[in-house]
Structure 1
Amino acid sequence: MTHSAYVFDAYGTLFDVHSAVGRHAGAVGPQAATLSEIWRTKQLEYSWVRTLMGAYADFRQLTEQALDFALEKVPSVDRRLRNDLLAAYSSLDCYAEVPGVLRELKASGAKVAILSNGSPAMLQAAIVSASLDHVFDAVFSVDAIGRFKTDPATYRLVTSAWRLEPSAVSFQSSNRWDIAGATSFGFRTVWINRTGQPDEYPDLPPSLTLPNLDGLLAGA
């Protein structure tokens, strides 16, 4: 392995953010995919706006607010599903290749960590639910500094804790905006482009683009 540390975004990279609605798709109805997209989009928008305003609220609160907006936006969905959907978000499905890739990286001697907007409690619940609680050397939550990615201070959580230069860290995310921020900070970046999205930030390119984490082992 060529890097001292492999750090992963959580939501969308390790955990399928759409699995919460997917788990209740029958009850949600034909607008399930629409509801899930709105929920995710507003969740991220709230994180960026609050960081710009300097008015932090933890990711759990933003997740709840975003779901409330999505339910208002898609009135055909029964609002009584709110609690079930939030509970499902605490135990999101991880992608199939995730456990094997993480364990192989850890076995190689590299440090393995999460760096996420998620609150510590949210992340711990997702990790335990996916049986990944013995894989990570650290779980870095932006809650520690009260600012969301892509603020440079969020990426500095890793380098400060582990006393590493940014170039020693390989950072993996499915979110292109996150890859842009991490590239600007100086990480080696791997964009996990699971859904074949076009590039949004050509001036801040990833070091590598993959359709899932499996290719990370070959290119690590």
Structure 2
Amino acid sequence: MTAPQVVVFDVNETLSDMAPLAARFRDVGAPELTDRVWFASLLRDAFALTAAGGTERFATFATAGLRSILAGVPLTRELDAAVEHVMSGFTALDVHPDVPGGVRALKQSGRRLVTLSNGSAGVAERLLSTAGIRDEFEHLLSVEDAGVWKPAPGSYAYAARTCGVQPADMILVAVHPWDIDGANRAGLATAWINRDGRPYPEYFTAPTHTIAELPELADRLAA
């Protein structure tokens, strides 16, 4: 198998550590685990709209979903203020500790690095700039420009066209099994980051590589 030329990174939860958002939900009076229910519901609705042939921006799903899930909750502030408090947390997120070293190792190996997010390119820009690794990336891509959300095949095809390569020349890096499966079916190699030791769902196609931390990937690709 030819080693991939382009490494495509998912952003939300793969590069960014979204755990601090839980504190934002607690701040506004939401019950424990509301952050997880909200994010899962956001993805569910986005995937459903994509399957039906529609599309919408991440921020629209996120904000509308927050309003729905917080409705009826005895909040510590007005609903509009609660939604703003949670959403502003996205601009304060940091990358996972393993990300900077892993990104630099892949770049030093001579590979091209890009992101492909269901969120906005602006969020990725702030995240990577704050981490001091923005310059390692050639493109910060968003499905907002692809017209379909991941894991629809068109999202990965958009990334390949933008980079001027075939899907087989790319490897997707993600923590989400649904993203790994979508990329596999679109013809990309894949690397699943399993930071918490969870089993991989058997109903999805298996990743090309499974790693516990990002720095492992450069060694895998060099082998």
* TM-score (norm. length: structure 1): 0.88
Structure 1 portions without partners, runs of 5+: none
- For 1:14, the equivalent position in structure 2 comes to 15
Structure 2 residue identity aligned to 1:31: P
Structure 2 portions without partners, runs of 5+: none
The answer as to whether partners of 2:25 and 2:86 remain within 8 angstroms in 1 is no
Q: Deviations over 1:70-95 (max 9, x none)?
A: 3237x244344321211111232210
Number of residues paired by the alignment? Answer: 217
- For 1:58, the equivalent position in structure 2 comes to 57
The answer as to whether partners of 2:102 and 2:216 remain within 8 angstroms in 1 is no
1:117 aligns with 2:118: yes
Shift in alpha-carbon separation, 1:54–1:186, aligned structure 2, 3 A = same
Q: Distance in 1 between matches of 2:35 and 2:18?
A: 8
1:1-220 to structure 2, matched below 5 A, reads 2-22=3-23, 24=24, 27-28=27-28, 31-32=31-32, 34-72=33-71, 75-78=73-76, 79=79, 80-202=81-203, 204-220=205-221
Query: In the TM superposition, what is the alpha-carbon distance from 1:29 to its structure 2 partner?
Result: 5.8
Q: Which region of structure 1 is more displaced relative to structure 2, 60-69 or 148-157?
A: 60-69
Q: Which region of structure 1 is more displaced relative to structure 2, 131-140 or 110-119?
A: 131-140
Query: In the TM superposition, what is the alpha-carbon distance from 1:128 to its structure 2 partner?
Result: 2.7
Q: Distance in 1 between matches of 2:163 and 2:6?
A: 9
Shift in alpha-carbon separation, 1:99–1:54, aligned structure 2, 3 A = same
Query: In the TM superposition, what is the alpha-carbon distance from 1:202 to its structure 2 partner?
Result: 4.3
The answer as to whether partners of 1:188 and 1:207 remain within 8 angstroms in 2 is yes
Q: In structure 2, the residue corresponding to 1:2 is in which secondary structure?
A: coil
Shift in alpha-carbon separation, 1:20–1:147, aligned structure 2, 3 A = same
Q: Distance in 1 between matches of 2:6 and 2:50?
A: 27
Over the matched positions of the two proteins, sequence identity in percent amounts to 26
Query: In the TM superposition, what is the alpha-carbon distance from 1:58 to its structure 2 partner?
Result: 0.6
The answer as to whether partners of 1:60 and 1:122 remain within 8 angstroms in 2 is no
Structure 1 residue identity aligned to 2:18: V
* TM-score (norm. length: structure 2): 0.87
Q: Which region of structure 1 is more displaced relative to structure 2, 209-218 or 102-111?
A: 209-218
The answer as to whether partners of 2:120 and 2:142 remain within 8 angstroms in 1 is yes
Name the Cα RMSD after superposition.
2.2
Q: Distance in 2 between matches of 1:108 and 1:115?
A: 20
Q: Distance in 1 between matches of 2:91 and 2:131?
A: 11
The answer as to whether partners of 1:3 and 1:169 remain within 8 angstroms in 2 is yes
Shift in alpha-carbon separation, 1:131–1:43, aligned structure 2, 3 A = farther
The answer as to whether partners of 2:105 and 2:215 remain within 8 angstroms in 1 is no
